[in-house]
Amino acid sequence: MRDNCHHYGFFVSGSLMSYLCLSSYNLNKMPGSICVNVELAASLDKNHSISRAIASISKTLRRRKNKCVLFTQVADTKIALKFWKGKLTQTKRASAMNGLLANFDQNHEIYADTTDMAIFFD
């Protein structure tokens, strides 16, 4: 079940340049062990604000003492796959995470035209 959902926007001169929507889930009811799901990431920003945000989230999760996961469903487009390559990996564990989220959260959508990607911090 989803614990929190956060929406972030980056504005330049009153115009929305980047948008990031994150959901967080507690893993195994273990305090401090979380999954952060990138629900949506979109940007027109040439200064890579989304890249910096994802790097900051990864850094925070890496420092936690308990197991954590950063997960997303990446659109099957060249630009999206290029953006996420190197930040997350495409593994069977990522697809398992997608299935688990769908099993425990009725609001989690599984999209057909995406690639599951994640990074696991053990």
Mean pLDDT by 10 residues, the chain (122 residues): 78 91 85 88 87 93 90 94 92 91 87 94 86
Domains of the chain with bracketed CATH = 2-121 (3.40.630.30)
Please enumerate, as own/partner, the contacts of 85-91 that have beta carbons within 8 Å and a separation of 24 or more: 87/51, 87/54, 87/55, 87/58, 87/119, 88/117, 88/118, 88/119, 89/117, 89/118, 89/119, 90/115, 90/116, 90/117, 91/118
Query: Which pTM value belongs to this model?
Result: 0.86
Q: What is the pLDDT of residues 26-38, one digit of tens each?
A: 887 777 788 999 9
